[in-house]
């Protein structure tokens, strides 16, 4: 039995791991890379809350935390981070994309630091607003590359998990657009962006429950995820009239809080997808081990002997 296990281990070493990263690592990577999309919008929201003098002290601390988290996560995706449980994927396209993000982020982060230090001016806010679209676009492309990495293993939850993570970004984007419009910057454009984000959130929410061919969402019947989706749907529906008022300059602070509450529930949803993805991968890996064991049993004696010697050498 021990010899067989060593031979299976050696076969893994010879062919590479089944999934590039192990199950948990890849699930965490998809979650945290997806969270980067949300942070691009969260940072702008917090910056404009500071500019609007809304809970200024609290939002300075929040902006400090979110910008440091973005920076650390980006570095972790590039080079790995044990504490965040991030392992760098040595894929050329992914690494090139992360370096592209790093270049854009460098200039963006300088503006954020000016806001945090109190040396900000109007240009800082215009700069982060103009840079945010490009930063979000490139971060989103990185997430799609990670999702494709997962598809190599034929898993079914990766795309739904990706879109569940995108919901977090859309909520922050709505808050950001609302605050920028209230600061009289590109008012019509930001109101339109708010409505478009609102409509896309609704479409994704329905697709996560019942499926959506256009978005390639499968939908789900998993009890925990279904329950959380239903809760978010009820909360989301109850806030639609408030959103209309906010677009007319009313109850802005209350709507920002509502969006933050929806963000908390959406983040819980992503964690449920992460756990389900991990369990699905474990089941598939176990089935793969059984298939490998069956293959080993059918091997001729010379091949078995070769693998046995390689396993012995690996142990030593």
Query: Tens digit of pLDDT for each residue in 156-193?
Result: 677 888 899 999 999 999 999 999 998 888 899 999 99
DSSP bridge partners of 217 = 212
Ramachandran angles phi, psi of 133, nearest 5°: -65, -45
> Distance between CA atoms of 86 and 73, rounded to whole angstroms?
8
> Distance between CA atoms of 168 and 41, rounded to whole angstroms?
10
pLDDT (mean) for 72-101:
93
Given pLDDT bands bounded at 50, 70 and 90, which one contains residue 75?
Answer: very high
Q: What is the pLDDT of residue 18?
A: 37
> Distance between CA atoms of 294 and 288, rounded to whole angstroms?
10
Burial of residue 286, with CB atoms counted within 10 A of its CB: 0-12 exposed, 13-18 middle, 19 or more buried: exposed
Nearest to 71, CA basis, from 100, 36, 44, 28: 36
Kindly state the helix (H) or strand (E) to which residue 12 belongs, with its residue range.
helix 2-15
Above 60 in pLDDT, residue 203?
Answer: yes
pLDDT (mean) for 30-47:
92
Question: Which range scores top for mean pLDDT: 15-19, 46-50, 291-295, 296-300?
Answer: 46-50
Given pLDDT bands bounded at 50, 70 and 90, which one contains residue 29?
Answer: confident
Q: What is the pLDDT of residue 291?
A: 53
* C-alpha neighbours within 13 Å on the C-beta side of residue 30: 31
**What is the residue whose two structure tokens read 């980006």?**
74
Joined tokens for residue 14? 């010879």
> Distance between CA atoms of 275 and 236, rounded to whole angstroms?
24
Q: What is the pLDDT of residue 20?
A: 52
> Which one has a higher pLDDT value, 110 or 284?
110
**What is the residue whose two structure tokens read 């050696």?**
10
Query: Tens digit of pLDDT for each residue in 112-151?
Result: 999 999 999 999 999 999 999 999 999 999 988 887 765 5
What 8-state DSSP symbol labels residue 89?
-
Residue 131, number of CB atoms within 10 A of its CB: 17
Given pLDDT bands bounded at 50, 70 and 90, which one contains residue 31?
Answer: confident
Q: Are 197 and 175 in contact (CB under 8 A)?
A: no
Percentage of residues of the chain with pLDDT beyond 70: 77
Given pLDDT bands bounded at 50, 70 and 90, which one contains residue 16?
Answer: very low
Above 80 in pLDDT, residue 1?
Answer: no
Residue 233, number of CB atoms within 10 A of its CB: 15
Mean pLDDT of the chain: 84
Strand, coil or helix: what is 51? helix
Above 50 in pLDDT, residue 314?
Answer: no
Secondary structure percentages of the chain, helix, strand, coil, to 5: 80, 0, 15
**Interacting residues of 119 by C-beta distance below 8 A, sequence separation 6+:** none
pLDDT (mean) for 276-301:
55
Above 70 in pLDDT, residue 267?
Answer: yes
> Distance between CA atoms of 11 and 5, rounded to whole angstroms?
10
What is the pTM assigned to this prediction? 0.74
């Amino acid at each position: 039995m021990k010899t067989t296990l060593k031979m299976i281990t050696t076969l893994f070493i010879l062919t590479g791991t089944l999934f590039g990263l192990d199950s948990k690592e890849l699930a965490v990577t998809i979650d945290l890379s997806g969270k980067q999309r949300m942070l691009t919008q969260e940072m702008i929201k917090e910056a404009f809350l500071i500019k609007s003098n809304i809970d200024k002290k609290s939002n300075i601390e929040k902006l400090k935390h979110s910008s440091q988290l973005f920076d650390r996560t980006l570095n972790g995706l590039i080079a790995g981070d044990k504490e965040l449980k991030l392992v760098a994927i040595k894929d050329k396209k992914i690494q090139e994309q992360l370096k592209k993000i790093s270049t854009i982020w460098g200039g963006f982060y300088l503006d954020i630091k000016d806001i945090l230090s109190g040396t900000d001016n109007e240009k800082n806010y215009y700069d982060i607003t103009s840079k945010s679209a490009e930063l979000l676009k490139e971060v989103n492309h990185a997430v799609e590359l990670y999702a494709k990495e997962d598809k190599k293993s034929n898993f079914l939850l990766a795309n739904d998990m990706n879109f569940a993570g995108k919901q977090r970004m859309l909520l922050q984007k709505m808050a950001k657009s609302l605050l920028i419009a209230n600061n009289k910057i590109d008012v019509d454009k930001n109101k339109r962006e708010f409505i478009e984000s609102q409509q896309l959130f609704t479409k994704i929410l329905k697709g996560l429950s019942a499926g959506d061919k256009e978005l390639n969402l499968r939908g789900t019947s998993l009890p925990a995820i279904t329950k959380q989706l239903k809760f978010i749907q009820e909360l989301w529906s109850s806030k639609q009239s408030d959103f209309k008022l906010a677009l007319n300059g009313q109850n802005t602070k209350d709507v920002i809080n509502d969006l933050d509450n929806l963000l908390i529930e959406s983040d819980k949803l992503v964690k449920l997808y992460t756990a389900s993805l991990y369990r699905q991968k474990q089941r598939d890996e176990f089935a793969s081990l059984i298939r490998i064991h069956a293959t080993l049993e059918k091997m001729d004696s010379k091949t078995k002997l070769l693998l046995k010697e390689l396993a012995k050498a690996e142990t030593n």
